[in-house]
Structures are given as C-alpha cells and as structure tokens.
Amino acid sequence: MTDNRARQRGEEVIHPRLPSAAEIMPGLARRLGYQDTRSIPQDLNGYIQKALEESLEAARPQAVCRMSRIERIGRKEILGTGFKLESPKWARFSQLLDSPEILLVYALTLGDDLDKRIDALRDAPITLSYVLDAAGSEIVERTADRMEADLWERPAFKGLQRTIRFSPGFCDWRLNAQQEIFQFLHPESIGMLCTKAWSMLPSKSITAALLGARGLPFHTPCPLCTQKACPHKRVE
Amino acid sequence: MMERLELAVKTHDQALLEEAFREAEQGGLGKDPVLKALTAGLDAVRERLGHHTASIPEFLLAVDVLKQGIRRLDGLKSRKNTAANQKTIVIGVVEGDVHDLGKNIVADVLAAYGYKILDLGRDVPCAHFIGEAVRSHASMLALSCMMSTPLENMREIIARSRKDLPEAAVLVGGAALDERIAARVGADGYAASAVTVSEEVKRLLAGRR
C-alpha cells in the first residue's frame, strides 16, 4: 500500500552499485591528508586498505529519487512540480542554462551498519574509527556519482546535460531545506531520519538535487559567484 | 629506556612500547618520567604534523600507542598521587548534534595528555552537561558542535556554566565554529583541531585549580 502511494508520487527506491575499493582509494587518501595514494606510508597502507574493505562490507546503499519538472525560475527560487528549491545563486545560474527542464532530487544512504560498527569501536583504537568514518564519507560520495551517472543513462534524461549535485547547507541553500526534501521524497522508507537540527541519520547519507538542461555553460554557479573565501567553491 | 618509550609513541610501535615498559618495570622507573617520555613522543608527531611531514592517521596511531602506555602506567610506582592531581574535563557534543567522531578523538588526545575525561557522548542536553560538570568539579567544559543549528544550545550551556561553575574554563570546537564564533558564543577558548587542542587546554587551565 505504502509502496503504491510512493510510486504514485513518483518516488523510486533504487539500490545503487557500490564503487570498487580502487575507485575510492584516491579520494580516501586525500581525506586522510595525503596528496595521493603513493604518499601513504607503507606501514599504513595495509591498515587503510583493510578499513576501506570493512567499510565497503558494511555499506548497504539505498536511495529514493524523484524527478520534478521545472515550471518556473524566479529571482530566488526554482519552482518544480511539487518541489521548490530556494537558492538565489542557483536560480540566477538556472536562468543562464539552455532549456532547464528537470530537477532530480534524491536521498542516498549507506545504511546504519557502518555507524553501528564505528559506535562499537568507542573504546578501541581511535585511528580505526577515524579511517572507517573517512572511508564511509568517501564511499557515499562516490556511490552518489555512480548512481547519478547510471540514472542519466535512462531515456527520461536523453539529450539533457546535468549540473553537479548540491545539497542543503551548501552554497546559499538553507540547511532547513532538508525538511522540504524529506517531505518530497519520504526517505524514511529506506531508514533515513532527519534530526531537529537537520542532520541525517544514518550519518553516511546524502540529500541532493541536480538540474537537467539542454545546454550548460558550466556545471555550478561558482563562476558567477563573487564570494572569495567559500569553502565549497568548485573550479571548472 | 626513556628514548625507547618516546620512540615507541613516535613510530606508533606497540611491540616496542611493551618491551620498553618491561624494561621500565625492571629498572624501577616511576610513573612520572615514563609519562613524560610518552607525551614527548606524541609532541614530536604533533610537531611533524604541523610541518606537514606526518598525517592525521599517524598522529592518531601515536595517540593509540600512548593510550596503551597510560593503561600500563598503573603497574609503575608513583611519587605523587597522579589521579588526585588530574584536572577533570567534561566533554560532549551539544544537544541537536549527533556527530561525535571529532569529540571522541579530542577526548582520547586529552586523556593521552593525562587529563581526567568525563565523556557525556553526543546530543547532550544543557541540564545534563551542567549537572555532570558540577558533580565532577570540572576544571573545564569542552563542547563540540559540527552544525550551525545547535549553536544556540552551546551558548545556553556556556551561560549556565558561568552561573553554576564560574571557575571552570569553557573550550569549544567543531566544524560549525571558528575563533570569532567561539568568542561570540561566550567560550574562553577555541580548539581548531585535535592536534592543537592540548596546547589550548594547557593555556586555559594555567593557574586554574
């Protein structure tokens, strides 16, 4: 019954493929403070690889995604069917795109097995918790990349280019927009929760939106932005 | 012997630590010089981290070896009652925030430096924080917050601590803060990372009971 209602609303539960350890390792090395995988000291390499394998084993990726057709772009918001994205910077950026047509909104989680594993390590060596946590963060980001690429192969997106994903709390999209995403996607169906302070549980989860348009001059509003010290600035 | 203890932490070598401890026990070495050698090892790694010649995992591995050493300290003689001289730090993630890895690392680093840590966990309500700080006669409250939304709860805990525990210092840290925000919420100090936290705690606790 619940599944039927979700389907009618256009929500789709998917089980994204996990990236391989080799795909995750370069980003994990950077998260741990190394320039690249070759910079990792030999005595630590095995330790990190083992922690990464453990994180991959604990990860159970699931996502809910839903499309929203763009109806209007205002000065401060992008209005799609059933979903409003309030971000003046993304609205201004959207106006420069060639025929922006859709917003793809999704919530992705690795599940709570990894959180439980890290919690259980509270009295164990702290290094392992740290590396498992960093591995989880990298896995969820790379899983999202792969899921977006897979989704974009579908006929619904034919002829459309996609922007990078953006999430509440980044750029000028307020963190409390999590509430609107949760109302739009109902990711509780895959075990995701949002706290009063808008953080997500399980902790290795992502909520995001991306735009599909016929043509993109660039993939983010960053080139239009005058803010110099933005920690989230993406260089094209 | 002291050099070997220091080297064991510096190179995060657990086997070497065990060997050096056995020698320390046989040689009748006291707790204080051993603790000094162990923390010197961690300081060396911290310094290398500052010069970008070591990484966070290497620093944490050294913390883990130092913690292992601290557990072994009980087997050694002490001229003074170390536990009675330890200053208590009550640490936790403020209510509304569930991200606790950074706090856990800081708690372990401070424990490694010999402070008595009372870890209240994550999502800690103001009343619980203050109650535990008063009960344990804390010298310091260390509050963590990774998100901006619970900053108001952090401000409330600090304001309450000024009334109920005026002699305690307040240290804050986490992704939601910088020095400017730390001052704005009323904290005495700001810890930018687990690497710099021991220096900041030492500065704040200098001259306090």
CATH number assigned to the domain comprising residue B8: 1.10.1240.10
Asked if residue B95 and residue B29 are part of one domain, the reply reads no
Cβ-Cβ contacts under 8 Å, A41 against chain B: 55, 58
Q: Which amino acid is at B153?
A: N
**Interface check B16 vs A, CB under 8 A:** no
Model confidence pLDDT, tens digit, residues A46-105: 999 999 999 999 999 999 999 999 999 999 999 999 999 999 999 999 998 999 999 999
Instruction: Read off the pLDDT of each residue in A193-220 and give the average, rounded to a whole number.
Output: 91
Residue A48's pLDDT is 94
Asked if residue B108 and residue B8 are part of one domain, the reply reads no
Q: Provide the whole-model pTM.
A: 0.85
Nearest CA to A71 out of A107, A97, A93, A103 is that of: A103
For B:94-123, CB contacts with A below 8 A are: 96-99, 101, 104-105, 108, 123
Q: Do B108 and A126 touch (CB under 8 A)?
A: yes
* Beta-carbon count within 10 A of A115 CB: 20
Kindly state whether residue A229 falls inside one of the protein's structural domains.
no
Q: Give the domain extent around B101.
A: 86-205
**How far is the CA of A4 from the CAs of A84, A155, B75, in angstroms?**
24, 23, 65
Q: Do A197 and B96 touch (CB under 8 A)?
A: yes
Asked if residue B47 and residue B112 are part of one domain, the reply reads no
Q: Do A133 and B101 touch (CB under 8 A)?
A: yes
d(CA B52, CA A34): 10
pLDDT band, residue B112 (cuts 50/70/90): confident
Question: How far does Cα B22 stand from its chain's mean position?
Answer: 27
Q: Do A126 and B56 touch (CB under 8 A)?
A: no
Tally of domains in chain B: 2
Asked if residue B148 and residue B50 are part of one domain, the reply reads no
Kindly state whether residue A93 falls inside one of the protein's structural domains.
yes
Residue B78's pLDDT is 54
d(CA A164, CA A162): 7
Q: Torsions phi, psi of A165, nearest 5?
A: -80, 155
CATH number at residue A90: 3.40.109.40
**Interface check B78 vs A, CB under 8 A:** no
Instruction: Read off the pLDDT of each residue in B127-146 and give the average, rounded to a whole number.
Output: 95
For residues A189-206, b (16+ Cβ closer than 10 Å) or e, as one string?
ebebebbebbbbebbbbb
Asked if residue B47 and residue B111 are part of one domain, the reply reads no
Asked if residue B74 and residue B97 are part of one domain, the reply reads no
Terminal-residue alpha carbon distance, chain B: 33
Q: Do B57 and A130 touch (CB under 8 A)?
A: yes
Model confidence pLDDT, tens digit, residues A144-166: 999 999 999 999 999 999 999 99
**Interface check B134 vs A, CB under 8 A:** no
CATH number at residue B176: 3.40.50.280
Instruction: Read off the pLDDT of each residue in B178-193 and give the average, rounded to a whole number.
Output: 93
Considering only residues A4 and B97, tell me which one the structure prediction assigns the higher pLDDT: B97
Last residue of a domain, one of B82, B113, B143: B82
Kindly state whether residue A226 falls inside one of the protein's structural domains.
no
Percent of chain A predicted with pLDDT > 90: 73
Average pLDDT over all residues of chain B? 88
Tally of domains in chain A: 1
Three-class secondary structure assignment of chain B: CHHHHHHHHHCCCHHHHHHHHHHHHHCCCEHHHHHHHHHHHHHHHHHHHHCCCCCHHHHHHHHHHHHHHHHHHCCCECCCCHHHHCCEEEEEEECCCCCCHHHHHHHHHHHHCCCEEEECCCCECHHHHHHHHHHCCCCEEEEECCCCCCHHHHHHHHHHHHHHCCCCEEEEECCCCCHHHHHHCCCCEEECCCCCHHHHHHHHHCCCC
**Interface check B147 vs A, CB under 8 A:** yes
Asked if residue B186 and residue B94 are part of one domain, the reply reads yes
Task: Answer yes or no: is the ipTM higher than 0.85.
Answer: no
Nearest CA to B49 out of B200, B201, B193 is that of: B193
Chain A residues within 8 Å of chain B (Cβ atoms)? 32-34, 41, 44, 47-48, 118, 122, 125-127, 129-131, 133, 175-176, 195-199, 201, 203
Do the strands A62-73 and A77-80 form a parallel or antiparallel pair, or are they unpaired? antiparallel
Q: Give the domain extent around A24.
A: 2-216
